[in-house]
Every structure is written in C-alpha cells, then in structure tokens.
Structure 1
C-alpha cells in the first residue's frame, strides 16, 4: 500500500489543484499589486521515541461490584483528547458502555515509571496498555460467564453493549453486572494491571543505525494565499488537507488535532519571530511583540479529510498517531507565499524567503524578485502561482508543481 501516493493524489483532487492553478495564473496576470500562490507539500513522520526505553506504558483497571469501572493510565491529558480515547479503548475491550467509567488523573502512585506523553505516542502506548489490562480481567469474567451460560468453552463468547452471550446462541445472555457480582462472590479478582512496549525497535545513537520508528504517518496539504505587494502581509484563502490517522479511534478528536497542528505550524513558519536587541535582550517576549495565530489567521475555507482504508497493523485498533505530524503540513503555507512572491517578479529561478515568512521578510523577498532579471530556466516559476520543487519518489526525481520535500532525521 503506497500510502503517500494515495494521500498526495487525494489532496490534489480534493483541492481541484490543476483548475485553481489556472485561475491563479489569470488572477496574477491582471493584478499587479496582489498575487496569489498555490502549493502542495507532503509529510512523512516517524512515530516512536528515539530513546527506545521510553516506548513503554502501563495501566490499571478496577471493576467494582456496582458495575462501575475505574481507569488509570500513564499518559497526560493536555487537551489532545487522550483520556477520551483511552475510555473508548477500554469500553471496546470490555464490551461495555463508556458511562460506566471513571477516568482518574494521571498519577505515579497508580501507574509508576510513566514515559513522557510525547513523540505523538500517547494513544499508541497507553492505549495498548489499557487494552492489555482490560483483556486480563475480561478473560477471568469470560471463564465465569461460560459456566453461568453452561458452555463448554469461553471461545465463542461476545462482550457487547453491557451483555455477554455466545455467538451461536445470542438470545441466551447475561448482563455484565451479573458476571461481575458472580466474580466477587467467587473470589475472582476484578482488577488488573496492563503493560505494553513497542516491539522491534532499536537505535544506535552513535552510528545512527537501526529502526527508530514503529511506523510512519503521512499527510499532504494544499494551501492558497494572497499576498499584498505593498505590505507583505498575506491572507490564507483555502487549505485542503488529507491526513493518514489509520483507523481513527475518534475522528472528531483527530480532525481537531490536524487543524490545530496545522495552525500552530503556520504560526511557526510565518509569525513567531525571536528578535534580540544590540544588548542581547529578547524584545519579542509578549503577545504584543511575539505574534501567534488568532482567529483572523484561520483560512477562509479549511477542509480536513482523514484517509480511509488506512488501518495500521500492530497498533491500538489500527489507529495512528496524530499529534505532531500535522504540524509539518504548514510548509504548504510558506511555499504558497513563496509562489505568490515569485509572481511579483519576472520568472525568477530562485525565490529566497526567510523563516518565519513575516510581512517584513515577505516584502524584502518581493523587492528582491522584482529586481531580478528575467530567466527562461525550465524549473522556475512562470507566474502561475505554483513553484516547482524536486520530489524524490523512490526511483527518479520528478518535478511536481508546488511540492516541497520534508526530510526528517531522528532526534
């Protein structure tokens, strides 16, 4: 499954890339003081801690005789929806409704030796640990449920919607609460710890050899901007993203993470500049001087599509990490600004543009391309608002309009 190719093609198709490129060329032809740019950039982001020992997690599940369930895991909720996903994992693993659960604050007196919630691995690591704990308790309950249903084996038992039944005889069923009480009365433990460590990882920090990542997340973004030739400011007109999150645990949470990561990356690449004075004092130390994205920087049209048919083997229910990879998709904004800047000139072969591409930096780039002589090099922009870049497709170097490669090295 050449997933990056699917992502790339879907992003171009969803964004009507070819048609919009032609429309932008016409806009730029008749507008001398404002120019538009269109760019598409891919991302391939490795998932796992490069320090191998961090790729482990623990969990604790406690079931009470009233049927309520307490869940502890080692991840930190910081607004990314981790607790929500862990509740979903536990509910699915036990075949019960989510309202039974009480999610506890992360604490090392319940789950010790926790790894940082970082490297976009929070759901991957803790989800598998939660699932392991749930399956341990579930196996005990299944043995009792088989006895209560007078079955020879628990192999065909189904835990679903707070009921337990045999797949062959679904009408003959008992409630989850009944089995829990039966377990207590028969002195069967209703708690369990779970543990997970990511398999097949190894990395030599000195030789830079090994397999540091368990898998890769892929994405592509198409961005269109309009740049003001007098001020260097830009307006983000439209963003179309296709991102690979595997078999999403929670599509709404993942969509929000993609949107938030993209906007954060846009701030990094277009606004968030550190400036020191001659005495070495930081002058951009507050929101009044250190600019961050606000609601006015959100694109007028913001389309996020999660890649379908994308289940990932060996992860929690086929899902993929979605924290940091979308951050890198914001390169599409910077490259779109570069394309718009190029349209102010006479077919320049090179468009230098600082990062972050602040209005000052963009205005300086515009002045520079206006002063450059015309060129007929085949790889330069022709004023159509899309700058060609070289993309390595694994066998040959293909010129793809508006694309920018992102090379990631293990940290």
Structure 2
C-alpha cells in the first residue's frame, strides 16, 4: 500500500488512471468505461414505508411470504426447511418451480415449491437429501439445479426441480468449499466460486456438454484485473493439497459468493472486499463491476455482497449478507441503488434471489428471519411482484 493512502483512496486513483477498462460484454461495455458502478437514482424510484410483511418496496410492487422455516407451506403438507439459501426458478408447464437450498449441516438438501399459471402454490416437496451445508448453486440450460455444499470436501449435486429423477453428485467438479455455479453455454463450461478468504474462481469443462459426470476442473490464473488465463487443477477429487493451492499463480478471491452468467460475462461476488467482479469470457479479461471502496461520491449503498442474479433488462440484483438487509440493483448504465429492504431482520442475510420465468416475480429468503438464530429455524421465503424492467 503506498504511504499516505488508505485503501479506498488508492483504489479510486488506480481506477481513474485506467484500471477498469470497458468490457466487450454486451451488457456492460459502455457502463464500465467510466469505472465501476456508482450510487444513483433507482430506475424504480425510492423505497416506500414497510408493508405488512416488513418489506420496503418501490411504488407498484407487492410482496407475500410463500414459506416459513419449520412450518408447513400453505396449502400443502410439506414443512419448509431451515436456513433457506441459494435458489432458482424453472418453467413447469403453465407454471413454474422455485427451488431452495438449506444451509444446515448433515440434513441440508434442497426443497421446491410448485406454482400454477396464476401463481398459486400447488405443492412443495424435497428434491435432495443427505447432504450438508447446501449454500448456493446454479441452474443449468438443460433444466437441472446444481446444489453446492459449503465445506472443505463439499460436492456439487445435480438435482431435478420436479423431483422425478434422483440427484447425482459430481466429484469431477471438485471437492472444496463450494458456493455458487453459473453455466456458460457459449463456451460449454460451468463457473464455480469458493467461499474461503483465499479462495479461487474455477471453471469446469465437461467431457460432454449436458453431462457433468466427467471433465476438467480449471482455476483462474493472473495477477489482478486485466488479462487472465486458466490452468488445470491436477487433483480435484482426492487431494492432500486443497484445490486452491495446487496451481502456482492461481488468483485469490476473498470469500467467493454468488455467480451469474449472461451476455458473455460471468459476474461473481466476494464478501471479504465487497466486490462484484466481471469476467469477460470471450476476451478472457477480469474487471470490477462494483467495489464499495471505489464509490466516489456519498456512501456506498451496497455492502455485504452475497447472492447475485439478473433480469432480462440487463439489471443485476445483488443481495446483502447483513448490513441493512437490502437487494440492490446495478443497471447496465453503471448505477447502483437499493431495490428493496427487509426491516426487523437485523441478524439475518438475504439469500436465493431468482426471477420467475416470465420475469414478473422475484423470489428470495431471509435466512435467519427476525430471531437471527444461527440454525435458521426462523427463515422466511418471499415473493415480490411488480413492474420489473424487461
């Protein structure tokens, strides 16, 4: 660190000097020519007073609670799991399914809620059992959910949202403290984050696209933003040396969290330094989409970055772990602003943001709810409906 400069001042200086060049990715090639996202007015307007569910939303949006941990899902006989975490939506006939991980040890797994065309809950059920600390994950182009275990020997489990086919573990994708996954159908790879203070960013190249049972695990290599490369991890399945320490020069990321791919760019978050990264897959270039230390005016609106998803409009939605319990929107124009806030859940975190297939409903959870109890037995899972940009 240069003498006389704190981290925020130093990062601002290097960014202005050209440390964050424009992406070639379609969504963000204009926005970050001027640097990472900055605070501004939300495209949805200001947040209103809390509604009956304790959510502050913009004008025109409404909410409902669709599930509570350790209680039966309304209209079903199924008890919702504790500590709801990563999630995704899948089309199902005229309706859709929302899947949700359970981040508890030993009995984690995944549950699902099925909705009809009107949004009415018609069933809830289990799609994965016998796994531990299921944190985030990702949807595949062939309609399955990748549920990731967050412990040192954690695996990626491929599940069927309909619960009709048995889940499968994929050791070839590596045994490490998995967080999230994002599929890149253009390069036919799956990107993976690792929740360690010195974790890495990986990609898995399956031998056959659509079959994750075999393939090559690679780790990102580089010295910072700019051009990066990939190197094969020698022993991803059975190791004495952790995967993150097997390749010299592997880049380190401080607490990898959410991961989302769209338009040629894979966005992923790191909670330790409060960043949203952007990997331009075509150019093999890494840049910073958001960093609270690179906010040049006012207070950073987004802290405790965690899960991430996107909308058809190109907007990113980033959930907070703690801070003031918001989901912030980052627009393709490089503006970051609060989209919603959960009131009264001060010891919780927001998890599992995902849009319904038609883009009109956003699902997410407050993992520990109002009590903040670490076991997550007070978790809430919400639906927000309204005029989302598309």
Q: TM-score, normalised by structure 1?
A: 0.23
Higher helix content, 1 or 2 = 1
Q: TM-score, normalised by structure 2?
A: 0.24
Q: Using CA pairs below 8 Å that are at least 6 residues apart, which structure has the higher relative contact order?
A: 1
Higher strand content, 1 or 2 = 2
